[in-house]
Amino acid sequence: MYNLLSKLVILWLTFSVSVGFSAIDEPVQITSGEITGTVLESGVQAFLGIPYAAPPVGDLRWQPPQPAIPWIGVKRADRHGPGCIQPISSYQSEDCLFLNIWTKAEVDEKLPVMVWIHGGGWAFGSNSQDIYDGRAFADNGVVLVSVNYRMNSFGWMAHPALSEESENGVSGNYGVLDHVAALEWVQDNIEQFGGDKDNITIFGESAGGASIYALLATPMAEGLFHKAISESTWINPSNVTSLKKPNGFQDSAESLGAAAIEKKIGGPSANILAEMRSMSAEDILDLEHSVALIVDGWLFKENPIETFNNARHNNVPIMTGYNDGEGLMFVRKGSEPSSTEEQRGRLSERLGEGGKDLVSFYVANSADDIYDKEIDFSSDTSFVRASRELGLAGARASQQDTYVYVFTRNARDPSQRASHFMEVPYVFNNLPSGASSSDKKLAQLMNDYWVQFARTGAPNGPGLPVWPAYDLEEQRHQVLDTEVSQGDRDRKLELDVMNDYLRDRYKTAN
């Protein structure tokens, strides 16, 4: 999946040397010093490349983020900071914990704040991508913040030696800790940009949606945000582990990290931490090590699937959803099984004895439908199940504060379902100039929905098509397309079985 996602990121990834039309004369005082930004033609003020934490380099590699280092004088925040280390050609550095702010507010205003966390498989991407430009949100009356965070093995490395040196006895999850640090920075500083620190909405897509999932699940983020939007939540058996023991799908995070490091350095070491921290960024990026959310007993007291099933998450209004054809990006035409018998065999082998009740939902009735069923399975396992999990959790906690969408617009080929990522340009109201009037109307509507939710905790407002709340019984959702409609109980039977299958596998491992 990473290779396919990287192609998409490369398509959108453009780093600006400078953004804006005129400099801001009056410095803004934040906790680490004074900064100036730029004023765009629309009147939106952009502050780019603001450090929210100290550079996580040297002895701070694989440590929780530390406060930003203060500076003397006025720092010009008029260009993007580098992205975090990743396997694609880009402006990048280990010193990458920067955020961007777009605002049209006066200093004494208290506008809603939206904090964006980008996707990219926790492996690539940046807040500097043009598609994530926040000016449309600022024009629509919110303060938009976008953040970088450590990725790949820089953000997700667990290792027994790292856990031993930690005062909490844990390692890994550094990317999530970066999110927490960014939200703490927002609490301390956002009022200087006209934002309301008591009205903060976190939102993200794909791996960014998984980060929203993580922030909802950890008590460490309680009180740092007040609403949450998760788009195409990327949580599945391949990216959740336990720190010290197998969880039914993955070996322990510590053993996976230790194996990757030992293979790279050629064997055990008496001074392993020093060797790890002296490794080049290229060597770390080259580790045979995958990213995963780590259930460590500290940041996450239990597997998040149990947290959400029992509504023990941070109880805030939730908006969640997915694209109806997420898997179109990941299932290559021609790679599907050649027959329904082969499809059943592949699924049975992958899911094991405990998944036999799930197999039948994803085996086609005829050879003509095999490809579509492969898309369904990819969609549901990687994104749809977890997105609905958040909706159900919110409904269990507070039945009036949860909203679910299904995005169905594929402007490239309206005969096809909407693939992964396709909703993002609509959310940011950042479509290509040649987009149709109906697509531009949908983009404005979706941006309005997202902003209204940030203001009030509900997407409904004057002039907006009514969006029904999600509940446990009817499970109604909003269908977002050039013609807005409603649906209910989408994929309910197979997703119920899939959720039970996952929980049983995790419980058996424990």
| Residue with tokens 């009036």, as numbered in its chain | 400
Q: Is 494 a catalytic residue?
A: no
| Catalytic site residue from 206, 211, 379, 382 | 206
Q: Which of these, 223, 197, 200, 195, lies nearest to 101 by C-alpha position?
A: 195
The answer to whether residues 220 and 202 touch, using CB atoms and an 8 Å cutoff, is: no
Structure tokens at 261: 């490091």
Structure tokens at 106: 């006066």
Strands 98-103 and 143-147: antiparallel
* Sign of the dihedral through C-alpha 330, 332, 333, 337: negative
The phi and psi torsions of 404 (rounded to 5 degrees) equal -125, 140
Element (H, E) at 230: strand 227-231
Round to whole Å and give the CA distance between 177 and 424.
25
Round to whole Å and give the CA distance between 243 and 258.
12
Q: Is 420 a catalytic residue?
A: yes
| Catalytic site residue from 80, 289, 420, 477 | 420
Cα angle for residues 91, 97, 99 (degrees, 5° grid): 90
Round to whole Å and give the CA distance between 153 and 264.
13
The answer to whether residues 306 and 503 touch, using CB atoms and an 8 Å cutoff, is: yes
Structure tokens at 332: 């290559």
| Catalytic site residue from 94, 191, 231, 326 | 326
Q: Is 206 a catalytic residue?
A: yes
DSSP string over 18-64: ---SEE--S-EEETTEEEE-EE-TTS-EEEEEEE-S----GGGTTS-
The answer to whether residues 204 and 245 touch, using CB atoms and an 8 Å cutoff, is: no
Strand partners, 146: 100, 116
The answer to whether residues 386 and 5 touch, using CB atoms and an 8 Å cutoff, is: no
206 CA to centre of own chain = 5
Strand partners, 485: 479
For residues 215-252, one letter each, b for 16 or more C-beta atoms within 10 angstroms of the residue's C-beta and e for the rest, the string is: bbbbebbeebbbbbbbbbbbbbbebbbbbbeebbbbeb
Catalytically active residues are 206, 326, 420
